[in-house]
């Protein structure tokens, strides 16, 4: 490693404006620069798979970004195949990348994984993963291997696939599927939530259905009644449904915020904080600045979203938002900083949107697809995302929609 400008956990990240630092953060600019200097980029690409540079392993993603780098730079998958022999986490990172490379036609990646399933230590999780990612004809001939090896495992697998296909019985640890309430109207869902005799799980099902719809003001008076039976917390998915209400919940939230029930008071305070009045602007700008000075990487996205609600009045926050977008190793939050900039200071974002088309994070790529300038080279990149078998369906669908609106010169390959 060279010089560092951010430290997180036990990792020191290279400067944000170096090729190494850009690749560690999953920045789109890193992928673009790497294409111009494959020899310099190759060690950093492999290092990014060998070591886990994600700031938050639960939300940040890198495996698609890394698989694309190997494909686009025409790097050998061999070092990644060799990494399968490492510890469980190293094996999982390598497997994630190799599974995607296989989708693009890499026989070396495919055979590396199949060989590992025959001989490797963590073969169970790898087989379950490829069964979820690959067409069945690529792995169903491994049944004899699975049946021969499963007896040596101390712990039985958790999932039904691919084991049921191989005639291997595993405990059914899955919860039985809940009935869908999607067919009910808003009024019927609210009636379920209001009824005292509605089962606990049915109320959760009703909240799940409401959370995926346009906001229903009828939920607001019911919120104080939607705690768990012991009164210690809210029902699962209630916060998600309340968030959908947006500013509609603010008047009621003032009362919730002073309720003696801790869960309701906290929800009320959060709603009010997410919809601040004009008097809060200076404090939020100060908060974001102090977060930056302390190099706090988890949480400023919330501050950024609150500032976004002020639009151009929050222009003094723009320089710090740019710093966060450029520097943060917490790649999941990068989209929130760009989104806040779009609301506060929308001019001058074309380069950021264009870079986002190569970003490691789905949300950033979606922003790039929606807002990158209408230029041939950017539309071509969006076409690549649309047609990439490694890309997730949501991004491919967004790319397809943008191209359908923007240009008749990119026929849908599907």
- pLDDT, tens digit, 9 for 90 and up, residues 262-277: 999 999 999 999 999 9
Which residue positions in the chain have pLDDT lower than 70?
A: 1-10, 158, 171-176, 407-414
The pLDDT of residue 413 is 59
Residue pair 7/13 in contact (Cβ under 8 Å)? The answer is: yes
Instruction: Report in angstroms the alpha-carbon separations of 400 from 360, 393, 404.
Output: 19, 10, 6
Residue 398 half-sphere exposure, CB side, CA atoms within 13 Å? 20
Tell me the C-alpha distance between 117 and 81, whole Å.
12
CB contact set of 258 (below 8 Å; sequence gap of 6+): 265, 268
Q: d(Cα 258, Cα 26) in Å, to the nearest integer?
A: 43
pLDDT at 76: 98
Q: What angle do CA 247, 250, 252 make, to 5 degrees?
A: 135
CB 368 within 8 A of CB 355: yes
- DSSP character for 261? S
With 0-12 / 13-18 / 19 or more C-beta atoms within 10 angstroms meaning exposed / middle / buried, residue 79 is middle
Residues 6+ apart with CB under 8 A from 130: 95, 99, 102, 113, 117, 138, 139
Handedness of CA 301, 305, 307, 312 (dihedral sign): positive
pLDDT digits (tens, 9 = 90+) for 90-101: 999 999 999 999
**What is the dihedral sign for C-alpha 280, 286, 290, 291?**
positive
Lookup: tokens for 413: 């390959």
Cα 194 to its chain centre, rounded Å, is 34
Tell whether the torsion through CA atoms of 296, 302, 303 and 308 is positive or negative. positive
Half-sphere exposure of 92 (CA within 13 A, CB side): 9
DSSP secondary structure of 139-192: TGGGHHHHHHHGGG-SS--SSSTTTGGGT------SPPPPPP-TTS-HHHHHHH
- Cα–Cα distance measured from residue 176 to residue 335, given in angstroms and rounded to the nearest whole number: 36
The token pair that represents 23 in the structure block: 């690749």
Q: How far apart are CA 55 and CA 25, in angstroms?
A: 9
DSSP 8-state secondary structure symbol assigned to residue 235: P
Instruction: Tell me if the pTM is above 0.85.
Output: yes
DSSP 345: -
The pLDDT value recorded for residue 4 is: 42
Cα–Cα dist 156/161, whole Å: 13
């Amino acid at each position: 490693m060279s010089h560092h400008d951010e430290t997180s956990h036990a990792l020191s990240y290279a400067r944000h404006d170096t090729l190494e630092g850009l690749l560690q953060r999953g920045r789109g600019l890193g992928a673009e620069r790497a294409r111009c200097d494959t020899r310099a980029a190759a060690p950093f690409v492999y290092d990014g798979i060998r070591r886990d540079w994600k700031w938050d392993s639960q939300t940040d993603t890198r495996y698609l970004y890394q698989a694309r780098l190997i494909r686009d730079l025409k790097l050998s998958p061999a070092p990644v195949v060799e990494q399968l022999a490492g510890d469980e986490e190293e094996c999982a990172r390598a497997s994630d990348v190799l599974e995607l490379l296989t989708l693009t036609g890499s026989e070396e990646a495919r055979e590396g994984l199949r060989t590992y399933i025959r001989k490797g230590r963590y073969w169970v999780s790898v087989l379950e993963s490829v069964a979820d990612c690959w067409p069945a004809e690529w792995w169903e001939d491994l049944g004899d291997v699975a049946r021969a090896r499963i007896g040596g495992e101390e712990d039985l697998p958790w999932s039904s696939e691919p084991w049921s296909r191989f005639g291997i019985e595993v405990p059914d640890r899955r919860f039985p599927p809940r009935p869908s309430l999607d067919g009910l109207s808003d009024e019927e869902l609210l009636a379920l939530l209001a009824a005292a005799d509605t089962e606990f799980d049915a109320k959760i099902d009703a909240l799940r259905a409401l959370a995926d719809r346009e906001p229903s003001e009828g939920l607001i008076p019911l919120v104080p009644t939607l705690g768990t039976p012991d009164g210690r917390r809210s029902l699962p998915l209630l916060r998600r449904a309340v968030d959908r209400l947006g500013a509609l919940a603010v008047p009621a939230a003032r009362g919730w915020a002073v309720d003696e029930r801790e869960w309701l008071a906290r929800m009320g305070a959060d709603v009010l904080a997410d919809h601040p009045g004009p008097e809060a602007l200076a404090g939020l700008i100060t908060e974001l600045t102090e977060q930056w000075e302390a190099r706090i990487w988890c949480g400023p996205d919330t501050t950024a979203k609150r500032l976004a609600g002020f639009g151009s009045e929050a222009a003094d926050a723009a320089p710090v938002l740019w710093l966060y977008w450029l520097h943060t190793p917490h790649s999941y939050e990068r989209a929130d900083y760009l989104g806040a900039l779009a609301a506060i200071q929308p001019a001058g974002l074309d380069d950021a949107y264009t870079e986002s088309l190569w970003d490691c994070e789905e949300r950033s790529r979606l922003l790039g697809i929606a807002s990158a300038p209408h230029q041939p080279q950017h539309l071509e990149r969006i076409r690549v995302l649309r047609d990439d078998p490694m890309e997730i369906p949501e991004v491919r669908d967004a790319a397809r929609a943008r191209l359908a609106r923007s240009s008749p010169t990119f026929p849908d390959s599907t």
